Amino acid sequence: MTEKKLRFPEKNAWEISLRVRYSETDQMGIVYHANYLPWFEMGRTEFCRQLGISYREWEERGVLLPCVEAHCRYKRPARYDDLLVVRTVIRELKRCSVTFGYNVFREEILLTEGYTKHAFTDPQGKLLSRPEPFYGMLERRMISSESE
C-alpha cells in the first residue's frame, strides 16, 4: 500500500461509502466475489462526476467506457450490513484507455484491492483517441497528482 499511496495521494483519490446488501452475500456468509466489480463501478461513477461530467453524460455525448480488463485481490471478506468505503484513483491514462484503481475498506482495514481498464469507444464499439473534453479532465487529474 505504501508505494501506491505515494503515487496516488489521498487528495487525488475519491471516496464513496456503501452498505453491503443481503443480495450480495453467498452461502459462505460473505460477499460473493463478483459483487465487488459493481462497487468499483460506483467508485468510478462518482469519480467522474466529481471531475465535472457524470459518466451518464459521457455516454449521452457518445463516449463509452467498456471494460477490457478487471482484476481483484480479496484479502479479507466483507459481510452483510458492513459499511464500506471504496477509494478510487486513476492508475494509468493512455491514448485509447484509462485504468482505475480501487481499494475497499471497512473502517481502516483494507479488504480488497483491484483495478479495471476501460477503452474509449463510440456507441458502435469503435476505439476513440483522446476523446475530449473527457481525456483532458482525466489528464489534468493525473498531472495534479504527480506534481505533488
Q: Which amino acid is at 114?
A: G
Query: Residue for cell digits 483532458?
Result: 136
Residue 70 near a second copy by CB under 8 A: yes
Active site annotation includes 26: yes
Interface positions, 119-148, toward a second copy (CB under 8 A): 125
Find the DSSP H helices in the chain.
2-7, 36-51, 55-60, 134-146
Residue 68 near a second copy by CB under 8 A: yes
Of 70, 72, 82, nearest to 25 (Cα)?
Answer: 82
Rounded to a whole number of angstroms, the minimum distance from the CB of residue 81 to a second copy is 4
In a 3-state reduction of DSSP, which class is residue 111? Answer: strand
Helices H / strands E in the chain, number of each = 4, 5
Peptide bond connecting 133 to the previous residue in cis, omega within 30 degrees of 0: yes
* String marking each residue 42-61 x if it binds a second copy according to CB under 8 A: x--x--------xxx--x--
Window contacting a second copy (CB under 8 A); options: 4-12, 75-83, 90-98, 131-139: 75-83
Binding site for a second copy (CB under 8 A): 19, 21-23, 25-30, 32-35, 37-38, 41-42, 45, 54-56, 59, 64, 66-75, 77, 80-81, 116, 125
